[in-house]
Amino acid sequence: MHEKPDLREILAVEVPLHDFLGIEVGESCDGRAEVRISVTPRLLNANGAVHGGVFYTLCDVAASYAFYMVVPRGYYFVTNDMNISLVAPAFTGVLTARAEVLKVGKRMGFVECKIYDQDDRLLATGRISKSILAK
């Protein structure tokens, strides 16, 4: 495995949206990553639950960080497709997304992500495909 910069350093510098939303990077290594976000009023929909777009964003961010750990230098990647299933709503607390790379090929990779609340209750699950491109 090749050495990569710490994701915590990349988060605020290269992706200001993550900093704006308050996404925090947890453990990330060997094709696995964890990110967290504290629920605030700006993340809620009209019903007072966390907006579905927040779940989508968390899955995409966690999957990207997990994938970043396994893609060789000289290549980059983009999200090709995502399927997110919302299992239960969240209204308060901290959401944690845990992603794991399932397979990396020459041009595509596949990642699974699950989002939990602070009580470790499953809230959402997702499958993400990434296209690998040469720089």
pLDDT tens for 56-78 read: 999 999 999 999 889 888 888 99
Q: What share of the chain is helix, strand, coil (3-state, %, to 5)?
A: 25, 45, 30
pTM beyond 0.85: the answer is yes
Cα dihedral 16→8→29→70 (10° resolution): 40
Task: Give 85's strand partners.
Answer: 125
| pLDDT for residue 1 | 47
Note the pLDDT tens digit of each residue in 36-49. 999 999 999 999 99
Average pLDDT, integer, range 104-108: 94
CA dist 29 and 100 (Å) reads 10
